Amino acid sequence: MQKRILGNSGLEVSALGLGCMGMSFSYGPPADKKEMIGLIRKAFESGITFFDTAEVYGPYINEELLGEALAPFRKEVVIATKFGFAPAAPGEPRWTALNSKPEHIRDTVEGSLKRLKTDIIDLYYQHRVDPGIPIEDVAGAVKELISQGKVKHFGLSEAGVQNIRKAHAIQPVTALQSEYSLWWREPEQEIIPTLEELGIGFVPFSPLGKGFLTGTINKETKFDSTDFRNIIPRFSEENRNANQGLVDMLANIARQKNATSAQVALAWLLAQKPWIVPIPGTTKAQRLQENIGSTRLELSDNDIKQIKEAASKINIAGERYPESSQKMIDR
């Protein structure tokens, strides 16, 4: 597995990480814990050293899963987790309120350290920008945790350019985690140029469009009742049908390259910048190996140009989040 460094931070990780959310949260009922421990360890054996989780995934159980799975080789991997949500009130199924008060961050890190079975978190992201708390205060709180040896690196998730700059001025930001794929290219407008200017790495989540770019989802696909894609506008039957052109384009290129659609989509992302590290998630060993194969897929400049030109002609239908979640995206 090739290695990459996130921006100017010196934090070296595998070129492809593993997003672990779907093992416990959002894409249906939690997967079997023993199987997922085996999958995470298989990922490590296959060269992946960068693992992503968050307090809210489950909540809590995804961090516990990762802590147990990675314990035998903790010093050989980079663990990223996130803070910034307030626990749901009794009876509420999801955490939706934000809380990045410095005192809450200080409390939250202790729980994450315990669940992850570690004494230090390699990369600690603010999960969503909290409009009620100045980003300078958030960066200052994480800076304090770094000075205490509880955190190594500071990250932001779905932050806009203005807040990236403000936070970076207080505590250097190692990485931004936001959605980026052939299905969502908005970061190319302002985010990526800003990250390049400031020397910040980019960790795209949902690099396969929450599964859509793999070509395994179509308008007839039925999701589990607990799968959050049921409430994402982009996954309505009508929009899936409208967006099929992008999937067909990827499949055509994949055939030319003797690869899969997922591998082409990931290889395209990897080719954008040397400091971009996608974190596709999966619960299947076959898909894990398929995704890893993308790091060995060579795309020529002409291939990249062809993909970009073809994608630019396709109008993507539907928002990427329901309205309640869209409000949490910093602009």
CATH number at residue 232: 3.20.20.100
Count of positions (residues) in the chain:
331
Where are the extended beta strands (E) located within 47-168? 50-52, 78-83, 121-126, 151-157
Q: Kindly report the pTM of this predicted structure.
A: 0.96
* Residue 184 belongs to some domain of the structure: yes
Which range of residues forms the domain containing residue 21? Answer: 3-326
* Residue 331 belongs to some domain of the structure: no
19 backbone dihedrals φ, ψ, rounded to 5°: -80, 125
User: What's the distance, Cα to Cα, between the start and end of the chain in Å?
Assistant: 35
| Pair of tokens at residue 109 | 């890190």
Asked about 57 being catalytic, the answer comes back as yes
Question: What pLDDT sits at residue 12?
Answer: 98
Q: Shortest CA distance to 164 belongs to which of 279, 11, 7?
A: 7
Q: What CA–CA distance (Å, rounded) separates 83 from 128?
A: 8
Strand partners, 123: 80, 153
Number of domains the chain contains: 1
Q: What CA–CA distance (Å, rounded) separates 260 from 127?
A: 31
Question: What pLDDT sits at residue 88?
Answer: 84
Q: What CA–CA distance (Å, rounded) separates 216 from 114?
A: 37
* Residue 166 belongs to some domain of the structure: yes
> Which among 27, 57, 124, 180 is annotated as catalytic?
57
* CA atoms lying within 13 Å on the CB side of residue 249: 19
pLDDT mean for each 10 residues of the chain (331 residues): 96 98 94 98 98 96 98 98 91 83 98 98 98 98 98 98 98 98 96 98 98 92 93 94 94 96 98 98 98 96 90 91 83 75
Peptide bond into 102 cis (omega under 30): no
